[in-house]
Amino acid sequence: MKQQLRECSAAVHAGEEGYLDHTTGEKFIRSTTEDLERDMEEVKVSFQNKTLALQRIQLTFALRNKMQQNDSDSRLIMETVKHIVMLSTAIIDCQQQAREKEQKLIDIKRKRLLLKKAGQQKLQQIHTMIRKQKEEQASMKVNEALEKIHNKLQKERKMTTVIQNVFQNIIIGSRVNWAEDPSLKAIVLQLEKDVCFP
């Protein structure tokens, strides 16, 4: 790839123009250079990954061979491996506990949200009940006021009826011929009307 890059650069510097247009050639060279650089990066990354994998395999193989020797170093390696396994198990357990606690926290948040919604509904019901009670109380006050007015009206009608009867008796008792006097006749006829039945 480096060789191809050098050849392209040398061709440009030497003034070789095998392309139709100079700008098209520059674009081609630029895109080719970018492609080659991208390919080089991919090859580098792939090489590093393969090198790491090989080193791991070599390390594992060396550890196995060392552990089979059964000396103090191999025992130390074995204890270290056991310790690593124990720590890994503890990490897995902690992660599991963390997941369970997260799930419990999610459940608590969900219950809290449901309780909040239920509380809002109850509050709305309380407001509705209070409004209805106020409306009923206002209606009862209006009804009581209407009842008082009706009672007063009935008393006034009864008193008016009594007064009419008294006037009629006075006119009849005075033995005046009320039928001949038009104003007196109008008064007597007016007194004949029952105020209880308008």
pLDDT band at 20 (very low <50, low <70, confident <90, very high): very low
pLDDT band at 21 (very low <50, low <70, confident <90, very high): very low
Q: pLDDT digit string (tens) for 60-117? A: 888 778 777 777 777 787 788 889 889 999 999 999 999 999 999 999 999 999 999 9
pLDDT at 12 over 70: no
> What pLDDT is recorded for position 35?
85
**Segments making up each domain of the chain, as ranges:** 1-68
Round to whole Å and give the CA distance between 142 and 150: 12
Cβ atoms of 188 and 168 within 8 Å: the answer is: yes
* Helices 72-173 and 22-68, packing angle to 10 deg: 110
Q: What is the mean pLDDT of residues 160-168?
A: 81
> What pLDDT is recorded for position 24?
64
Comparing 181 with 147, the larger pLDDT belongs to 147
Answer yes or no: pTM beyond 0.75: no
Exposure letters 81-94 (e unless 16+ CB within 10 A, then b): eeeeeeeeeeeeee
Q: pLDDT digit string (tens) for 113-161? A: 999 999 999 999 999 999 999 998 988 999 999 999 999 998 988 888 8
SS3 42: helix
Q: What is the mean pLDDT of residues 51-57?
A: 91
Round to whole Å and give the CA distance between 98 and 105: 10
| Tokens, residue 149 | 């007015």
pLDDT at 11 over 70: no
Nearest to 78 by CA among 67, 89, 87: 67
End-to-end CA distance of the chain: 120
pLDDT at 178 over 90: no
- State how far Cα 193 lies from the chain centre: 73
Comparing 25 with 109, the larger pLDDT belongs to 109
Round to whole Å and give the CA distance between 4 and 11: 11
**What percent of the chain is helix, strand and coil (3-state, nearest 5)?**
85, 0, 15
DSSP string, 15-38: T---SS-HHHHHHHHHHHHHHHHH
pLDDT at 19 over 50: no
